[in-house]
Amino acid sequence: MASEALSADPTSMTEVELSKYLAMADQLKTWINSIYELAQTEMERGVAVPGFKLVQKRATRKWADPDAVEEALKKSRRPRKDMYDIKLRSPAQIEKKFPKLYSNTLSSMVNSVSSGVTVVPDTDKRPAVASSTALLANALPKQ
């Protein structure tokens, strides 16, 4: 099945073939993730997996001693605005902290903007979005 899918040209697939391969892709993602998890577990135990190795992920920098850094910055007389970020919490954070205020007053001040679309099985409970072709056809004047 996998060799059949890998040899298929996606640009020439019918909608039925595309549906079949999307269903396979979900199963393969799960299987592939399991393979990576197993390989990592084994390699962390010291088992060599030929052709692969463990590496560190990209490092993020954090202060080893934030209090000492803060003190050093204060001693250097840097402006507070250059040392600290103060920003409004997200709608989700405010809703969690102040549920009544959020539902009574603030919820009407929220814009929910999707970051895009994704392909899911038709059993997913979210409503389908209209295709860009359908949206364009509805926007054009009727002749």
pTM over 0.75: no
Closest C-alpha among 85, 110, 89 to residue 98:
89
- What are the residue ranges spanned by the domains of the chain? 2-105
Q: What is the DSSP letter of 32?
A: H
The per-residue pLDDT for 105 is: 94
CA distance 91 to 99: 11
The per-residue pLDDT for 139 is: 61
Long-range Cβ contacts of 27-32 (<8 Å, 24+ apart): 28/2
- Helix then strand count (H, E) for the chain reads 7, 0
pLDDT in tens, 80-116: 889 998 899 999 999 999 999 999 999 999 998 878 8
The label of the residue with tokens 């010291």 reads 46
CA distance 54 to 132: 43
